[in-house]
Chain A
Amino acid sequence: MSLDIWMRENPLTYIWLGSYAVAFLIFAIEVAMVRHKRKITLQQVRLLRNVGDDE
């Protein structure tokens, strides 16, 4: 019940915290995950390449 009251008294905070912050957080996490994937893939490729060089 107190959530409803708080929500009506602070609409903009509610919007920012609930919607925009979540959306931007998701975008940030997505970009972080893509960059992490790239890092790991590059590591794997380097590993493969070094193994190939050793042979």
Chain B
Amino acid sequence: MKRSSLLDLLVLVIRRDLVLAMRRRADVLTTLIFFVMVVSLFPLGVGPEMAMLRKMAAGVLWVAALLSSMLSLGRLFSADYLDGTLEQMMLAPQSLSMLVLGKMVAHWMVSGLPLVLMAPVLGLQFDMSVEALGVLILGLLLGSPVLSMIGAIGAALTLGLRGGGVLLSLLVLPLTIPVLIFGTGAVEAISSGLEITSHLSFLGALLLLALVFTPWVTAQALRISME
């Protein structure tokens, strides 16, 4: 009985956040456009030599995904914080961790997933091979939720602070470095003909760890910020 009601709660929160996000489509699109723009800046900066761009591709796409995620994280709690809904959520008898998890999932669906879908298109600009693109997508699929979840901790800690967005990035980016390393490492491995299971397993392990720990930690961070 209790288990199904937790799941119902999760679905409820996800649906609510998705509906709210759909009403503000501009926010979603600007994150995506930022992603595309950052990726496009690199060839402009380093030159159009294809061999070099092919080598850089995975790194550029992953870093751009990281930065785009950071930008969108400010929105995770701010709207609810400003109109008082967050306070209500915290006073509710239901598990705050579950509510937070729901918000994280919705945020990823709206901010992370579009990046994952957009990445292969941009990867073609860098002349990435089909296998490399496949591993890129897989890595981003495993890694982008982790970015959202670790970022949520930062968003909760910096709730309502001035200079919030940049501060959030400063706090969260170092913590996302392992995801970056293994995501790009996997693409490099496939390009060199090496096996990718260890990289993807590690990303999967990070995803599981994040799923287990980050909702609770974020809930604690929210309590600290809201007192």
Report if A and B touch in the complex (beta carbons < 8 A).
Answer: no
